[in-house]
């Protein structure tokens, strides 16, 4: 099995790219596979080789040692590059230099390490100066190499080198790096080498092979760096993938005014618009563009003009190279049939491609590109549906800033990631995480972000940076996470000592509230009001396609008319779960609920229930009207009664007054009702069995409302009455009969009938196992996977937050089982119940109403089991529609 794959250069050199393993990202990583692919379609790729991910896993598992085979294969591959470029590694006369970069299966922007200009030493730097005819360039490259290598491979603080550089400039009265002459840089290299020797206790390595192996080891090891681990956890990337290493002949964007470097997207990654989009810098190396040290220039003339920028675009300054680049963009889109994110370098007028990958994009852009590309015939409708991550839709479904609200604009930066966010200013990532943990909305404000800030960026509602362009770390990561971001806001200056912030002439403090508009790049003081998003255009088109391709229905979990309306607007096809207990908390009725609970006997309870009946009838009537004939599953009272119990003395006093009884008496009743384990206590259908009058009242309210609304002449209402927490057939039999009796009574009184169904939740393991029996009494099952997870795992859903984090980190569960269904375990119970239920009643309707009904992976499982519908909270309805379509394809 190859440990190394060559790419670029003459085919006779084993770089034919016809081994399928070479194009397999699991073997050669995303970057390596795409470099091979680009070279294969004839694009200009500097020759190089990829060390497989398997080798990095082996290296990390086997005590950080290289195998003999790897050493031999790398030596041969180096020869491949040498032959292709006609230079030799370490040759003092005309040295070949290489870059060493990581490349995992999926891109982890900025998370792992890169070393450029490797192969320079005291001897080869002179050769490079001679051959290039540019001594300044050679010494600048050597300086950069020492700094990068020392940071990445030797683990020295890069601040030491930056400081030396600053002093060198100050001593000479310079403002910019470019003012440093060849001699200045040569002197600086001397200082850099002294720093290395002092800090490391050994000189900077001069042997180019030692340099190379040091860099390879560092890239392998960067897989296990803390920031990479955090990124993997946030993005559900397994820890055992490892990273490939790409060693590639250097091309130089810093060889003077005919050289340049840049990053680009074939379409706009923020809006999805079909126009080239990117940034470049003349006479610079790749890192300069993303690091935000120099402000990059626009790629196209149109964008430069639109932004009112002075420095010429690449289109204007280097028309030939730009034209070639545009040709490559089109070729790449045709080849990959997707928007590409590209790194390129122009060396003395010649264009070289250094990387391509599927570009990260905002939800809005993902939608637009999917719909546009299907329209252009680049992809088909099914592919378009599969292109959009359902969870990303979340970004679009939330409110945006009200365009008519006044804005107190503090400053403008670059519109790096769209969306609106308001929150308290925090000045570092740890504070962001801490405050967010206290449920506070925070905006992370930094000079620029680095991979070390990733946890704070995740915790924040929005990100603001003083430096950096549209492709800066902050911008790329924020777009990937769906966080609004304004970058490069140069009016922002941060004082970390006083924890204050100056924006223009305004002084702000950590903790003050600001608002960001990531689509416009605006920073505003205070909180700006928001409005609901309009879901038309591309969103509507994609949803229509999704609806055409999905098999499962999508309902919503909702109980208020407002939520029902939101969900209908999002395309819900009915209610899958109306939690009636939520209606009991209303200020006007909680005292009746408490009176019912604390009543001494049935008569007392009935008196209280009589007060609740008209309220419940009103609730259901409104829901039926809002849902206009769509199916509505209404669950009878479920939670433990203590949840409604008064706790404060005033509450007891009020209630005692209301009922005309003594406070002490009420408190005693409350004590009697105390439970040790309420989640497994007197709740669910157990309430209906012991206090049938409660369920009778609710059933009556449902049928009276259904008859009334049907009589109003709208669409016929078909209520689905759902009994919670059933474990045995007998429980359901008793309660089904109770509901049937209530229905008949109402129908007789009203002289009218409505159709209805009685069914149950399957949320206890026993119910799942006994589903064949229970199905005799049920017209439908709805999987309550919240409780089913709690009871199957023996993990309290209310306490899990305290310990599930480490469980997921250690891979005990791949994801939080309350968020994404534990398919292996709980999934089996669902499968068994579906199968046994259908064996008894083939036409039984099956749905899911636990939180998992809005989780794409769980939805894919529901499709596999053949459920009839999923039910999700209103804002998750579109996510569920898309996920259901993807699952069906």
Residues forming the active site:
473, 849
For residue 585, the SS3 value is: helix
Separation CA 278–CA 269 (nearest Å) = 10
CB of 367 vs Mg ion, minimal distance in Å: 34
Residue span binding Mg ion (CB under 5 A) among the ranges 4-12, 21-29, 757-765, 834-842: 757-765
- Asked whether position 48 contacts Mg ion by CB under 5 A, the answer is no
Separation CA 6–CA 12 (nearest Å) = 11
CB of 880 vs ligand PEP, minimal distance in Å: 14
Chain position carrying tokens 């609901």: 532
Q: Hey, which residues between 641 and 670 contact ligand PEP (CB under 6 A)?
A: none
When CB distances are held under 5 to 8 angstroms depending on the partner's kind, the choice from Mg ion, ligand PEP, none that residue 519 binds is none
**CA geometry: angle 687, 819, 387, nearest 5 deg:** 135
**Which residue's CB is nearer to Mg ion, number 113 or number 763?**
763
- Asked whether position 880 contacts ligand PEP by CB under 6 A, the answer is no
Q: Are 347 and 341 in contact (CB under 8 A)?
A: no
For residue 295, the SS3 value is: coil
Q: Counting beta carbons within 10 angstroms of the beta carbon of residue 251, is it exposed (0 to 12), middle (13 to 18) or buried (19 or more)?
A: buried
Q: Is 515 annotated as a binding residue?
A: no
H helices present in 308-346, as ranges: 314-317, 319-336
- Asked whether position 763 contacts ligand PEP by CB under 6 A, the answer is yes
What are the phi and psi torsion angles at 836 (to 5°)? -70, -35
Q: Which helix (H) or strand (E) holds 354?
A: strand 350-358
Q: Is 784 annotated as a binding residue?
A: yes
Q: Are 564 and 611 in contact (CB under 8 A)?
A: no
**Which residue's CB is nearer to Mg ion, number 488 or number 684?**
684
DSSP 8-state assignment for residue 12: G
CB of 442 vs ligand PEP, minimal distance in Å: 29
CB of 556 vs ligand PEP, minimal distance in Å: 12
For residue 153, the SS3 value is: coil
- Asked whether position 786 contacts ligand PEP by CB under 6 A, the answer is yes
Q: Hey, which residues between 786 and 815 contact Mg ion (CB under 5 A)?
A: 787
- Asked whether position 851 contacts Mg ion by CB under 5 A, the answer is no
- Asked whether position 768 contacts ligand PEP by CB under 6 A, the answer is no
Binding mask 571-590 for ligand PEP (x = CB under 6 A): ------x-x-----------
Separation CA 443–CA 512 (nearest Å) = 10
Q: Hey, which residues between 15 and 44 contact ligand PEP (CB under 6 A)?
A: none
Separation CA 425–CA 460 (nearest Å) = 10
What is the rounded (10 degree) CA torsion for 861, 863, 867, 872?
Answer: 70
Question: From residue 511, how far is each of 288, 438, 485, 596, 646 by CA, in Å?
Answer: 33, 13, 18, 45, 36
- Asked whether position 274 contacts ligand PEP by CB under 6 A, the answer is no
DSSP 8-state assignment for residue 167: H
Q: Are 259 and 283 in contact (CB under 8 A)?
A: yes
- Asked whether position 359 contacts Mg ion by CB under 5 A, the answer is no
Residue span binding ligand PEP (CB under 6 A) among the ranges 96-104, 132-140, 510-518, 785-793: 785-793
Q: HEC profile for 184-251?
A: HHHHHHHHHHHHHHHHHCCCCCCCHHHHHHHHHHHHHHHCCCHHHHHHHHHCCCCCCCCEEEEEEECC
Binding mask 620-639 for ligand PEP (x = CB under 6 A): ------------------x-
When CB distances are held under 5 to 8 angstroms depending on the partner's kind, the choice from ligand PEP, Mg ion, none that residue 785 binds is ligand PEP
When CB distances are held under 5 to 8 angstroms depending on the partner's kind, the choice from ligand PEP, Mg ion, none that residue 29 binds is none
CB of 858 vs Mg ion, minimal distance in Å: 16
Separation CA 531–CA 799 (nearest Å) = 35
Residue span binding ligand PEP (CB under 6 A) among the ranges 13-21, 214-222, 608-616, 783-791: 783-791
Residue 829's nearest CA partner among 770, 758, 773 is 770
Maximum alpha-carbon separation in the chain? 104
Q: Is 467 annotated as a binding residue?
A: no
Compute how many residues bind ligand PEP; rule: CB under 6 A: 10
Looking at 461-546, which runs of residues are DSSP E strands? 462-465, 485-487, 492-495, 500-503, 506-509, 513-517, 522-525, 530-531
Residue span binding ligand PEP (CB under 6 A) among the ranges 529-537, 598-606, 667-675, 784-792: 784-792
536 contacts: CB under 8 Å, gap ≥ 6: none
Length of the chain equals 889
Residue span binding ligand PEP (CB under 6 A) among the ranges 219-227, 781-789, 815-823, 858-866: 781-789
- Asked whether position 785 contacts ligand PEP by CB under 6 A, the answer is yes
Residue span binding Mg ion (CB under 5 A) among the ranges 553-561, 672-680, 756-764, 864-872: 756-764
CB of 41 vs ligand PEP, minimal distance in Å: 50
Residue span binding Mg ion (CB under 5 A) among the ranges 117-125, 402-410, 699-707, 759-767: 759-767
DSSP 8-state assignment for residue 584: G
**Which residue's CB is nearer to ligand PEP, number 577 or number 885?**
577
Separation CA 214–CA 217 (nearest Å) = 5
- Asked whether position 784 contacts ligand PEP by CB under 6 A, the answer is yes
- Asked whether position 849 contacts ligand PEP by CB under 6 A, the answer is yes
**Which residue's CB is nearer to ligand PEP, number 488 or number 724?**
724
Supply 813's token pair: 């569960």
Binding mask 142-171 for ligand PEP (x = CB under 6 A): ------------------------------
When CB distances are held under 5 to 8 angstroms depending on the partner's kind, the choice from Mg ion, ligand PEP, none that residue 579 binds is ligand PEP
Residue span binding ligand PEP (CB under 6 A) among the ranges 98-106, 161-169, 207-215, 778-786: 778-786
CB of 604 vs ligand PEP, minimal distance in Å: 27
Q: Is 650 annotated as a binding residue?
A: no
Q: Are 530 and 400 in contact (CB under 8 A)?
A: yes
Binding mask 766-785 for Mg ion (x = CB under 5 A): ------------------x-
Question: From residue 244, how far is each of 111, 115, 134 by CA, in Å?
Answer: 14, 14, 34
**Which residue's CB is nearer to ligand PEP, number 501 or number 849?**
849
- Asked whether position 787 contacts ligand PEP by CB under 6 A, the answer is yes
CB of 478 vs ligand PEP, minimal distance in Å: 33
Binding mask 461-490 for ligand PEP (x = CB under 6 A): ------------------------------
CB of 767 vs ligand PEP, minimal distance in Å: 11
358 contacts: CB under 8 Å, gap ≥ 6: 336, 338, 339, 340, 341
Sign of the alpha-carbon dihedral angle for 453, 456, 457, 458:
positive
Supply 572's token pair: 């819900």
CB of 799 vs ligand PEP, minimal distance in Å: 15
- Asked whether position 581 contacts Mg ion by CB under 5 A, the answer is no
CB of 848 vs ligand PEP, minimal distance in Å: 8
Q: Is 579 annotated as a binding residue?
A: yes
Q: Is 482 annotated as a binding residue?
A: no
Q: Are 345 and 324 in contact (CB under 8 A)?
A: no
- Asked whether position 791 contacts ligand PEP by CB under 6 A, the answer is no
Q: Counting beta carbons within 10 angstroms of the beta carbon of residue 508, is it exposed (0 to 12), middle (13 to 18) or buried (19 or more)?
A: middle
- Asked whether position 731 contacts Mg ion by CB under 5 A, the answer is no
Q: Is 785 annotated as a binding residue?
A: yes
Question: From residue 142, how far is each of 113, 448, 488 by CA, in Å?
Answer: 18, 26, 29
By CB under 6 A, name the binding residues for ligand PEP: 577, 579, 638, 763, 784-787, 849-850
Residue ranges of the annotated binding site for Mg(2+) are 763, 787
Residue ranges of the annotated binding site for substrate are 579, 635, 763, 784-787
Residue ranges of the annotated binding site are 579, 635, 763, 784-787
By CB under 5 A, name the binding residues for Mg ion: 763, 784, 787
């Amino acid at each position: 099995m190859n440990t190394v794959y060559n790419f670029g250069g003459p085919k006779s050199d084993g770089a034919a790219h016809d081994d399928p393993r070479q194009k397999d990202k699991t073997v050669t990583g995303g970057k390596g596979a795409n470099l091979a692919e680009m070279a294969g379609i004839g694009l200009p790729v500097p020759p190089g080789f990829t060390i497989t991910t398997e080798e990095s896993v082996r290296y990390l598992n086997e005590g950080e040692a290289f195998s003999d085979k790897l050493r031999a294969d790398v030596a041969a591959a180096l020869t491949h590059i040498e032959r292709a470029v006609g230079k030799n590694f370490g040759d003092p006369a005309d040295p070949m230099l290489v870059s060493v970069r990581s490349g995992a299966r999926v891109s982890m922007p900025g998370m792992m390490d890169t070393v450029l200009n490797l192969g320079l030493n005291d001897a080869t730097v002179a050769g490079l100066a001679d051959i290039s005819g540019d001594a300044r360039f050679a010494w600048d490259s050597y300086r950069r190499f020492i700094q990068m290598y020392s940071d990445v491979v030797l683990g020295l603080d890069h601040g030491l080198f930056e400081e030396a550089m600053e002093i060198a400039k100050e001593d000479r009265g310079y403002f910019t790096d470019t003012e440093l002459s060849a001699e200045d840089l040569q002197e600086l290299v001397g200082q850099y080498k002294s720093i290395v020797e002092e800090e490391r206790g050994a000189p900077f390595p001069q042997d180019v092979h030692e340099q190379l192996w040091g860099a390879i080891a560092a890239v392998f090891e960067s897989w296990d760096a803390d920031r990479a681990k955090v990124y993997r956890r946030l993005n559900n990337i397994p820890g055992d993938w490892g990273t490939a290493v790409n060693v590639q002949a250097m091309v130089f964007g810093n060889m003077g005014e005919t050289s340049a470097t840049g990053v680009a997207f074939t379409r706009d990654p923020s809006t999805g618009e079909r126009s080239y989009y990117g940034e470049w810098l003349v006479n610079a190396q790749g890192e300069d563009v993303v690091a935000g040290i120099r402000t990059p220039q626009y790629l196209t003339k149109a964008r430069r003009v639109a932004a009112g920028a002075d420095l010429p675009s690449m289109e204007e300054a280097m028309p030939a190279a730009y034209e070639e680049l545009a040709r490559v963009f089109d070729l790449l889109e045709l080849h990959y049939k997707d928007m590409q994110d590209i790194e390129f370098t122009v060396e003395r007028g010649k264009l070289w491609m250094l990387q391509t990958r599927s570009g990260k994009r905002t939800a809005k852009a993902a939608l637009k590109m999917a719909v546009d590309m299907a329209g252009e015939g680049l992809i088909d409708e099914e592919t378009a549906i599969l292109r959009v991550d359902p969870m990303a839709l979340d970004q679009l479904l939330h409110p945006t800033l009200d365009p008519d609200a006044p804005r107190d604009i503090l400053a403008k930066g670059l519109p790096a990631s769209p969306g609106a966010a308001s929150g308290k200013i925090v000045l570092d990532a740890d504070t962001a995480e801490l405050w967010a943990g206290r449920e506070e909305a925070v905006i992370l404000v930094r000079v620029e972000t680095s991979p070390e800030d990733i946890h704070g960026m995740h915790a924040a509602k929005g990100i603001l940076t003083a430096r950096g362009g549209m492709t800066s770390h902050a911008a790329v990561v924020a777009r990937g996470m769906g966080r609004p971001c304004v970058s490069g806001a140069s009016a922002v200056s941060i004082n970390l000592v006083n924890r204050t912030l100056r924006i223009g002439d305004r002084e702000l403090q950590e903790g003050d509230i600001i608002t960001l508009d990531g689509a416009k790049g605006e920073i505003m003081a205070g909180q700006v009001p928001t409005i609901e998003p309009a879901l038309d255009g591309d969103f509507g088109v994609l949803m229509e396609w999704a609806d055409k391709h999905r098999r499962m229905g999508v309902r919503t979990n909702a109980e208020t008319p407002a939520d029902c309306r939101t969900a209908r607007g999002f395309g819900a096809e009915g209610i899958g779960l109306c939690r009636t207990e939520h209606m009991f908390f209303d200020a006007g009725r909680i005292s009746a609920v408490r009176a019912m609970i604390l009543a001494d006997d049935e008569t007392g309870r009935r008196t209280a229930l009589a007060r609740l009946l008209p309220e419940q009838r009103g609730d259901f009537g409104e829901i039926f009207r809002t849902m206009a004939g769509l199916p509505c599953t209404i669950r009878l009272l479920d939670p433990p009664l203590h949840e409604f119990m008064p706790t404060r003395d005033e509450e007891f006093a009020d209630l005692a007054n209301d009922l005309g009884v003594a406070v002490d008496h009420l408190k005693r009743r409350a004590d009697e009702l105390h439970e040790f384990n309420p989640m497994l206590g007197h709740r669910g259908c157990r309430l209906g069995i012991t206090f049938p009058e409660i369920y009778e009242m609710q059933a009556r309210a449902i049928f009276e409302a259904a008859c009334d609304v049907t009589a109003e002449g709208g669409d016929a209402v078909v209520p689905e009455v759902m009994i919670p927490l059933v474990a045995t057939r007998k429980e359901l039999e008793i309660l089904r009969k109770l509901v049937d009796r209530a229905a008949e009574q109402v129908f007789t009184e009203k002289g009218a009938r409505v159709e209805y169904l009685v069914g149950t939740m399957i949320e206890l393991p026993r119910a799942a196992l006994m589903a064949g029996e229970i199905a005799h009494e049920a017209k439908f099952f709805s999987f309550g996977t919240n409780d089913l997870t709690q009871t199957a795992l023996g993990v309290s859903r209310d306490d899990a937050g305290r310990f599930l984090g480490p469980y997921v980190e250690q891979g005990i569960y791949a994801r939080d089982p309350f968020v994404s269904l534990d398919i292996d375990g709980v999934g089996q119970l669902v499968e068994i119940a579906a199968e046994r239920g259908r064996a008894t009643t083939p036409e039984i309707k099956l749905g899911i109403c636990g939180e998992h009904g809005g989780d794409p992976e769980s939805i894919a499982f529901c499709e596999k089991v053949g459920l009839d519908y999923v039910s999700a909270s209103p804002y998750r309805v579109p996510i569920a529609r898309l996920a259901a379509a993807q699952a069906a394809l």
